[in-house]
Amino acid sequence: MNLMARWATEEGWNVAHTDPLAFFGADPGGFLIGRVDGEPLLSISVVKQGTGFGFLGFYIARPKVRGKGFGIQLWNAGMARLKGRNVGLDGVVAQQGNYTKSGFKSAWNNARYEGASGDARPPAGVTLVDGRSVAFDKLAAYDRRYVVAERDTFLSLWIGLAQRASLVALKDGAIAGFGVMRACPAAFKVGPLYADSPEIAAALIAALARQMSPPSVVMDVPDFNRPALALVERMGWLQVSSSARMYTGEIPTLDRAGLYAVASLELG
């Protein structure tokens, strides 16, 4: 896992320091390495979620084996592991055509924005608490509104590992927002970020940053959420890249209005 994370970082993906621990816990059998003459040179993750969904990521071929037909062998092995499931991925937009040939359909793009955290405070009636202090079943049910399948093991690790912070916004006793920030080699990532309003989202970003002191903040914003895009642009953030969310099966119905940033491009 650390090898895959290092390769991803060398590709500019800025994988958080403790992400491999959460990824591996989600599905220990879901990470494949391709060896050429005994040397590990390719990777792919094919993580099962729930009973009918899977997510593909970490699809990397090291430079010296690119264009030699090894990558498609690992791709086929990964897709075979997820046979019969609706498979999602976040891939570079330039590769959408190739993913389409493999049976994927475009759902939306995630725009990666980077900038300063700001100093927003929670709106009246909203309080922020440590995510680990909230009853886990309630937090998992809230997370489920924004993802395709149950991912309780992943979520428990995502909020509990070192070098990260998680906050929940409460209003009248109910969850009105949730965010996680984790330390990365470059800008610190926020994801997931869910909120009932842009004001709550901004308050979560600022409060997480006060705990983590990031050099800058980055998050992957679904382009269907216009208030989320308006928020980061109002904060002066700049778009630095974009990825395409695609699925092999039916495009899932999610709570789009509250989804301000996906958890990760590797596991969705």
Q: Please tell me whether residues 128 and 172 are part of one structural domain.
A: yes
List Cβ neighbours of 83 (8 Å cut-off, separation of 6 or more). none
Q: Please tell me whether residues 156 and 257 are part of one structural domain.
A: yes
Q: Please tell me whether residues 153 and 246 are part of one structural domain.
A: yes
Q: Please tell me whether residues 64 and 127 are part of one structural domain.
A: no
Identify whether 32 is part of a domain.
yes
Q: Please tell me whether residues 181 and 209 are part of one structural domain.
A: yes
Q: Please tell me whether residues 118 and 242 are part of one structural domain.
A: yes
Task: Supply the pLDDT for residue 93.
Answer: 84
Identify whether 267 is part of a domain.
no
Task: Supply the pLDDT for residue 95.
Answer: 86
pLDDT in tens, the chain (268 residues): 999 999 998 998 999 999 999 999 999 999 999 999 999 999 999 999 999 999 999 999 999 999 999 999 999 999 999 999 999 999 988 888 889 999 999 999 999 999 999 999 999 999 999 999 999 999 999 999 999 999 999 999 999 999 999 999 999 999 999 999 999 999 999 999 999 999 999 999 999 999 999 999 999 999 999 999 999 999 999 999 999 999 999 999 999 999 999 999 999 9
Q: Please tell me whether residues 87 and 135 are part of one structural domain.
A: no
CA distance linking residue 44 with residue 33, whole number of Å? 7
Q: At which of 80, 108, 136 does a domain end?
A: 108
CATH number for the domain that contains residue 57:
3.40.630.30
Task: Supply the pLDDT for residue 94.
Answer: 83
Domain holding 150, by residue range, is: 112-261
Q: Please tell me whether residues 253 and 152 are part of one structural domain.
A: yes
Q: At which of 108, 133, 161 does a domain end?
A: 108
Q: At which of 48, 79, 108 does a domain end?
A: 108
Identify whether 266 is part of a domain.
no
Q: Please tell me whether residues 86 and 43 are part of one structural domain.
A: yes
CATH number for the domain that contains residue 176:
3.40.630.90
Q: Please tell me whether residues 97 and 129 are part of one structural domain.
A: no
DSSP string, the chain: -HHHHHHHHHTT----TTHHHHHHHH-TT-EEEEEETTEEEEEEEEEEETTTEEEEEEEEE-GGGTTTTHHHHHHHHHHHHTTTSEEEEEEEGGGHHHHHHTT-EEEEEEEEEEE------PPTTEEEEEGGGS-HHHHHHHHHTTSSS--HHHHHHHHHSSSEEEEEEEETTEEEEEEEEE--SSSEEEEEEEESSHHHHHHHHHHHHHHH--SSEEEEEETT-HHHHHHHHHTT-EEEEEEEEEESSPPP---GGGEEE-S-TTT-
**pTM for this entry:** 0.96
Q: Please tell me whether residues 116 and 100 are part of one structural domain.
A: no
Task: Supply the pLDDT for residue 92.
Answer: 87
Task: Supply the pLDDT for residue 40.
Answer: 97
Report the domain count for the chain.
Answer: 2
Task: Supply the pLDDT for residue 267.
Answer: 93
Closest CA to 195 of 208, 183, 185: 208
Q: Please tell me whether residues 77 and 121 are part of one structural domain.
A: no
Identify whether 268 is part of a domain.
no
Task: Supply the pLDDT for residue 206.
Answer: 98
Q: Which residues of 74-86 are buried (b: 16+ CB within 10 A; e: fewer)?
A: bbeebbebbeebb
Identify whether 243 is part of a domain.
yes
